[in-house]
A and B are shown apart, each in its own frame.
Chain A
Amino acid sequence: MADNVTPRIRVPREAAAGEVIEIKTLISHQMESGQRRDGDGNIIPRSIINRFVCEFNGETVIDVTLEPAISTNPYFEFTATVPESGTFTFTWYDDDGSVYTDTKEITVS
C-alpha cells in the first residue's frame, strides 16, 4: 500500500460554452519502478499508478496508461472543450488495487 496518496486537481469553476479549458492534476505517489534493489540486494517490488482516466459527464476525456519509468508524483496537464455544465471525474488506478477518485464541478454560462 502506497503511503500519503493525495490527488490535487485544478479545474476552472466557470467557463463559456465551447471554451477550451486547461486542467492540471497531480497525485502524490512514490512510483516505485520495480527495477531498484534495497540495501540487501533484494528487488523492491513495483508499485506505481498504472492508469489515469478523466471523464466529463460520463464521456472519456483522456485515458492514460502509465509505465514504470514515470517519475514520482505524476502530473498531467491537458485541455478539454466543455459544451455544458457538469462534472469532471478523475480516477487513478494503483498497482495494489487501490482506486483514488475525485470530482470537480464546472458551470458553463
Chain B
Amino acid sequence: MRKVLQRTVAAMALGSIASIAMAQDDGADLVINGEIEITVRAPAPAHMSDTGIDTILSGWVFRSDETRQLEMDDFDNPAFLAVDRGIEAWNTVEGTEGKSCATCHGDVEESMAGVRAVYPRWNEEAGEVRTLAGQINDCRTNQMGADAYAYDKSDMTAMEALISVQSRGMPVNVAIEGPVAETWAQGQELYYTRFGQLELSCANCHEQNYGNYIRADHLSQGQINGFPTYRLKNAGLVQTHNRFRGCIRDTRAETFAVGSPEFVALELYVASRGNGLSVEGPSVRP
C-alpha cells in the first residue's frame, strides 16, 4: 500500500512540473478599496532555498474571479461584519479589572498597526512563543481578569480580524532566529511529517502540488497571511489552527488541538514561509 502511495505521489510530483509553471497565476494584482496594495507574490524567503519554491503566492492567486472580487472591497467582504463586532468588543469593559482593550491600547488603528505582521513571536516575560490568539487571551485573563475566548470561535476570530485589518498591506515579517529557533524547527519538522492513513504531510500538497487539484479542491501554497479567513462554505471566519486541524483530519489522522504547542510551532513555521507577502486578513476564500 505504502509503495503504491509513494508511486502515486511521485507521479503527482512529476505531473506538477508542467503545471507549476502556470500554477493558475494569471498575474492579477490585489488592490483593496482601490487604495491598499497587497503583495500577493514575492520572492521566497532565504530559509526556503531548498524547497523548490522560488516565488511565494498568496492563496488569493489560486481563487476564482468571483471569490477574488469579494476581497477587493471591504463592503463586499463578509468578514467585515466580524470586524464591526471586533470594534465593539475592543471598547467593551470586561472582567474583574474594569478594563477594555482600549483602556491600555487606546485607538486600535494606531496601537495595532503592524502587530499582525510579526506574530507568532517570542514573549520574553513568559518565555514562550505566542500566537496572536494566545496574546489576546493572555491580555484577557491576566490584564482584564476576564474569561479567555475559545481559541477558534467567533469572538476570537472577530478580534483577530480587527487586529489584522490594521496591518493590511504590510509585509509579513516573522522572526525565525534567536529564542524562537527551537520552536520554528519543531514547526518545520511537523510540516514535513506525514500524518494519517493517507500519509500526507503539509509539504505533499502545499509545496509539491500547489496549483494542482486534489479532487475538486485547488491546492494553494497554504499561506496564512490572509487569516483569519472568511470561508464561503462556512459562512464565517476560520482561525488558522482550525484550518490546520481540518487539513490533518483530511489525512485521516487524529489531529492536534487548537492552541496546542504543536500547532503554535506549525503556525510560526508556516507564517515564516509567507515572509514578504502582505498581511491580507481577513481574506475571503471559497
Real binding pair: yes
- Which residues does A use to contact B, with CB under 8 Å? 4, 6, 8, 10, 24, 26, 28, 71-73, 75
Smallest CB gap from B82: residue in A? A28
Contact A71 B235 (CB under 8 A): yes
| Across-interface contacts of B121 in A (CB, < 8 A) | none
B81 located at the interface, meaning its Cβ lies under 8 Å from any Cβ of chain A in the complex: yes
| Across-interface contacts of A71 in B (CB, < 8 A) | 235
B211 located at the interface, meaning its Cβ lies under 8 Å from any Cβ of chain A in the complex: no
Contact A73 B76 (CB under 8 A): no
Contact A26 B75 (CB under 8 A): yes
CB distance from A79 to the nearest CB of B (A): 15
Contact A73 B78 (CB under 8 A): yes
Q: Chain B 74-101, CB within 8 Å of chain A: the 1/0 string?
A: 0110101100110000000000000000
| Across-interface contacts of A4 in B (CB, < 8 A) | 81, 85
CB distance from B13 to the nearest CB of A (A): 38
6 extra interchain contacts, Cβ-Cβ under 8 A, other than A24-B76, A75-B76? A4-B81, A6-B81, A8-B80, A71-B235, A73-B78, A73-B81
| Across-interface contacts of A10 in B (CB, < 8 A) | 75
CB distance from B89 to the nearest CB of A (A): 12
Contact A26 B85 (CB under 8 A): no
Could you tell me the dominant secondary structure of chain A's interface residues? Answer: loop
Given A71-B235, A72-B235, A73-B235, do A8 and B76 touch, yes or no (CB 8 Å)? no
| Across-interface contacts of B235 in A (CB, < 8 A) | 71-73
Contact A24 B75 (CB under 8 A): yes
Closest 3 interchain pairs by CB? A72-B235, A28-B81, A10-B75
Contact B85 A8 (CB under 8 A): no
Q: How far is the CA of A24 from the CA of B77 in the complex (A)?
A: 12
Q: List 21 A-B contacts (CB under 8 A).
A: A4-B81, A4-B85, A6-B81, A6-B84, A8-B75, A8-B80, A8-B81, A10-B75, A24-B75, A24-B76, A26-B75, A26-B78, A26-B81, A28-B81, A71-B235, A72-B235, A73-B78, A73-B81, A73-B235, A75-B76, A75-B78
